[in-house]
Amino acid sequence: MRVLRLTVSYDGTGFFGWQFQPGKRTIQETLETAVESVTGEQQRSLASGRTDAGVHALGQVVAVRTDTELDATTLCRALNARLPEDIRIRDVGFADPDFHPIRDAKSKRYRYSLQFGGQHDVFRRRFCWHLHRPLDPDAMRDAARLLVGEQDYASFQASGAPRKSTVRNIHHLEIADESVDGQYFVTFEIEANGFLYNMVRIIVGSLVQIGLGKQDEAWLRRVVDGRDRKLAGPTAPPEGLCLLFVRYK
């Protein structure tokens, strides 16, 4: 039996997240149906992480065991022919038999996209959070430095999530802003050795509070030190979040 390593992109708008849910359209169920159609096998897939409803991916990594003798190029073409237009297989490879997309991952990078002011961009509306009030990107950049490094991110984990270790190491946190035809956009790129449930969206929601002038750096320091979800800002909506890639080396 071989292990397929799939790199998958999807527009999460029309899905109830990655994980299989009876009676609901999910990425896992849609992908496994395509695999069965091509290989004739009912096999469970394992992704590097379970994206929530409405969250997107450019480079989700998925492992599937199979006995098929089809080569990678044929599998990629056949799977894409059976998948809906909001999911695409970007790459198919064969991994080591013990490959585990979660355990073997060294880091993941997410991008969160936000538009502020003006009318929402009709072409980006499903892929960014639109705020009507102006933001101060420099204030958010200054405060974001407090979130880089290895520390306890318990304040940025959704309430009710399993209380395992909440220590993570954020390697990279960059905030970029641009103006396009009078519309203003901010992107947050965050890479870490692992993420807690809703961690990126809570970080973004908290930094936006600073960008709006409602909070400051001292507040964010208290949020980190307090290790309590109730101290942090709101959870940013899902449509702005995209898993860019998973790093394995």
**Active-site residue set:** 52
> Hunting for tokens 């896992």 — which residue is that?
28
Residues whose CB falls within 8 Å of the CB of residue 138, separated by 6 or more in sequence, listed in order: none
CB neighbours (10 Å) of residue 107? 17
Burial 48-66 (b: 16+ CB within 10 A, else e): bbebbbbbbbbbbbbbbeb
Distance CA 236, CA 27 (A): 22
Report whether 246 contacts 59 (CB < 8 A): yes
- CA dist 14 → 18, 60, 86, 110, 239 (Å): 11, 17, 8, 20, 11
Distance CA 219, CA 226 (A): 10
